[in-house]
Structure 1
Amino acid sequence: MLLLLAGTVQTGVQAETLAAYGRQCAEQIAAIPAFSCMAGQEIPITQDGKPVPPQPAPATCDRPSLLPQVDAQSQCVPGSRALVLRDDKTAQISAICRKQVARPAGSPLFDEINVISHSLKDGKTCWFTAKAAAPLREDRGIDGRWVPSPSLLPRQPQPASPEGQRPLPAEKVWLSPREVAWSQPACISCHDSGPFMYSPYIAQTTQLPGDPFGFYQPKAIGEDFKKAWARLNAFGITTRGNTCTACHRMGNMNSCQVALQQSTGNAPQAGGNAWSRRFPQSHWMSPGNLHSQAQWNEQFASSLQQLAACCADPKGPGCQVVDYGGGSRSRP
């Protein structure tokens, strides 16, 4: 049984429909195929390197989800799945099917589904979310066996699954653009460095597209996103010769305020256990950290301090701001 949660939205303004928003995304980026969450790669949940059983959800784990999940049993609920629906020279489309309530192994029920569609040509990005109704329960949720596309071209039909299962109408599954755009935290607040954000949680899979320095326009499509995020302007921060931003951009919102500290051992991750707080796993930037702590400090500590200072004052001495909109470019 599929149930949805209505989010807090702005009223009194004509809302853009899911069909209209999805059509723009399909025309300007790419159509999103219908998909099965069950075809995705399961995201492991471990404690001290050992997989946990599907139930109950542990309070802490080695690599917790970094997405704030107020209604979840913990940041370490087993059974979430990730899949890349497209990744080529034109477009990248990624989906993650989240479980926030522990269920038996193999259950096709999920509590939230997120899809990001991104154009490599000009950086335009679209955002889609489905949510199960509160209160979340083990015996109900979003049926992930065949999820309808939220973004089709005109007159393009919703296909059946290989087993012949017909999907529900898209508007019965996906939240409206207004609900997604006005929800908190805003997608762009966390996805401020680019459309796809690295974390130890998702990095356990191979299902993460990468475009660390490409064009990025997170609110170029959809009137609700333009209005809701009008005062949220994602831009990058760097300094000359910075060893951190040699590999990726540093966004000015969540990346500066939270991820910069969490990824370098200076702030705990919600749901992280003692193992996650010990070096080297406490310092998950750079990915695959094989340094000793002394080596890490030698290579990154100064760059980290410079970035922290520029996050606090992007106009400070030596700080450079990188605009994403029509292509990355630095301005003093």
Structure 2
Amino acid sequence: MSVRARLFALCFLFAVPLAAFTHEQTLLEYADQCVREIGEIPPFNCNDGTDIPITIDGKPPGPNESPKRCDKPSLLSPRAEAKGQCIPFSKILNLSRGNTQISAYCRRDVLRPDKDPHYDGVVVVMHHSGNGKTCWFEAKAPPPPPKSQADVPASSGIVATRVPPPNERKPPAGRTSAVEFWATPAVVASGNPTCLKCHDAGPFIFSPYIGQVWDKVPTDPWGKYSSIGQAFSSYRLMTMSTPGNTCIGCHRIGSEQSCTAFLGLSVGKLNAPGNDQLANTYPLNHWMPTDNAMSKEQWDKANVASVEALLACCSDPAHKDPNCTFTPMPSSSNDRSLH
């Protein structure tokens, strides 16, 4: 090959966008990485989970009632109304063993009997409490019901009596495969808001809704925390604090959705979508600290200054306020492995 030909080939190589050489990680590739670095997710039945209670003024809804507002709505959508915020019989499962922490959430968006096999969403958070590595899995959106059943939405949804392990190549006969059930990591990472923007302080989030079954949720509030996989590699989470702040005694405070939603929601400055009147009054609208037994006057005296200080940091994206300390999330490595 002549020198001119070699130079032309070299120029062509550098002219091709880098993305052309980037292989998008498949579900199975991502799941294999998660198994290697965190652990196995076993198959599970959503109906084996613990019901997340729904109450209206302290009482459960009637057997055929589909409430849109309740005392402790789901905050899967923390800033806007969402379908199913107060629908009964969503379930939580703790599949953890050893350092491998696995929380599975099986969501109902329409009213069905407690043990109906159909759900409208399945989400799994897997985290290693030693190395801090975390993976995110979400079921594919269920297909819409056939037109002939449009008036019976409960017949649609995801059959979740055997949720396959995300790395499973060959399911038992007659069962759904992993690639049929789970969305790809690229799809999960493209959600709005993304998993990491909501889970900006750690892998597991407390809210009044999930706090009702908090004993069924693994926790690691101060441990290392980083998301592995190609689709999540661009995220660099930061935590924030101010001197003597009372809000950071039990857990970290993130600077993403903690700023735009959860901080305000947890201290009565914002009303959660789906809140009923009781949920918007003290003490239910002040759910931090989680064991709050103070009067409103006591709460204000202990915490208002700390809340205002953190909100000031949220309004300082350039990090110029000397009272605000922004710290990179502690992780197993500053360079997230893509494998």
Shorter-chain TM-score range: 0.7 to 0.9
**Paired residue for 1:75?**
85
Find out whether 1:193 has 2:201 as its counterpart. Answer: yes
Task: Answer yes or no: is 1:178 the counterpart of 2:186.
Answer: yes
Matched AA of 1:180: V
1:231-290: per-residue Cα shift (whole Å, max 9, x none)?
A: x42111011221110111110000011111010001100000000011111100110210
DSSP-derived class of the 2:156 partner: coil
2:90 is the counterpart of 1:85: no
1:268 maps onto 2:271 in alignment: yes
When residues 224 and 277 of structure 1 are mapped into structure 2, their CA distance, relative to the original with a 3 A threshold, is: same
Offset from partner CA, 1:124-180 (integer Å, 9 cap, x none) = 11000003335362102111211111146xx8x75x6xxxx8631111100111111
Residues 60, 274 of structure 1: CA spacing in aligned structure 2 closer, same or farther, 3 A cutoff? same
CA shift, 1:54, in A, is 4.8
Within-5 A mapping of 1:10-29: 14-29=23-38
Asked if structure 2 preserves the Cα contact closer than 8 Å seen for 1:54 and 1:79, the reply is: no
CA distance in 2, matches of 1:252, 1:19: 32
Q: CA deviation at 1:327?
A: 6.3
> What corresponds to 2:49 in structure 1?
40
Alignment of 1:235-314 (within 5 A): 235-313=238-316, 314=319
Change (3 A) 1:265 1:293: same
**What whole-Å deviation, never above 9, does each CA across 1:278-303 have from its counterpart, x for those lacking one?**
11111001102100001101111111
User: Which residue in 2 is equivalent to 1:326?
Assistant: 331
Equivalent position of 1:8 in the other structure: none
Give, in angstroms, the shift of residue 225 of structure 1.
2.1
How far did residue 29 of structure 1 move? 0.5
- Structure 1 unaligned spans of 5+: 1-10
Kept after mapping to 1: 8 A contact 2:223/2:330: no
Residue 183 of structure 1 and its aligned partner are, at CA, apart by: 2.2
Could you tell me which residue of structure 2 aligns to residue 141 of structure 1?
157
> Cα gap change, 1:225/1:251 in structure 2, threshold over 3 Å: closer, same or farther?
same
Percent identity among equivalent residues?
Answer: 40
Does the alignment pair 1:101 with 2:104?
no
Residue among 116, 138, 141 paired with 1:132: 141
Deviations 1:64-115 (A, max 9, x none): 0011298954411111000110053x22111000011111332121010000
Secondary structure at 2:102's aligned position in 1?
Answer: strand
Deviates further, 176-185 or 273-282? 176-185
Aligned to 2:220: 211
Contact kept in structure 2, 1:39 and 1:83, CA below 8 Å:
yes
CA offsets 1:199-228 (integer angstroms, 9 cap, x no match)? 01011112211111110112xx221222xx
Partners of 1:60 and 1:74 within 8 A in 2:
no
CA distance in 2, matches of 1:169, 1:243: 47
Q: Which amino acid aligns with 1:79?
A: F
State the SS of the aligned residue for 2:222: coil
Residue 325 of structure 1 deviates from its aligned partner by 3.7
Whether the aligned pair in 2 keeps the contact of 1:112 and 1:129 (CA below 8 Å) is yes
C-alpha spacing 1:188/1:34, structure 2 compared with 1 (3 Å): same
Tell me if the contact between 1:147 and 1:167 (Cα under 8 Å) persists in the aligned partners: no
Judged with a 3 Å threshold, the aligned counterparts in structure 2 of structure 1 residues 131 and 295 are, in CA distance, closer, same or farther, namely: same
Question: 3-state SS of the aligned residue for 1:197?
Answer: coil
Mapped partners of 1:286, 1:93: distance in 2: 24
Q: Of 229, 233, 236, which residue of structure 1 is paired with 2:236?
A: 233
Task: Give TM-score, length-normalised by structure 2.
Answer: 0.84
Secondary structure in 1 aligned to 2:155? coil
Partner of 2:230: 223
Out of 127-136 and 57-66, give the one that drifted further: 127-136
Letter of the structure 1 residue corresponding to residue 161 of structure 2: R
What is the CA–CA distance in structure 1 between the aligned matches of 2:293 and 2:239, rounded to whole Å?
27
- Runs of 5+ unmatched residues, structure 2: 1-18, 146-152, 334-339
Q: Which segment drifts farther, 254-263 or 13-22?
A: 13-22
3-state DSSP of counterpart to 1:50 = coil
Q: 2:166 aligns with which of 150, 157, 163?
A: 150
Secondary structure of 1:100's aligned partner: coil
CA distance, structure 1, for counterparts of residue 302 and residue 332 of structure 2: 29
Contact 2:226–2:332 at 8 Å: present in 1 too?
Answer: no
Q: TM-score, normalised by structure 1?
A: 0.85
Please tell me whether the aligned partners of residues 214 and 327 of structure 1 are also in contact (alpha carbons under 8 angstroms).
Answer: no
Which residue type is aligned with residue 271 of structure 2?
P
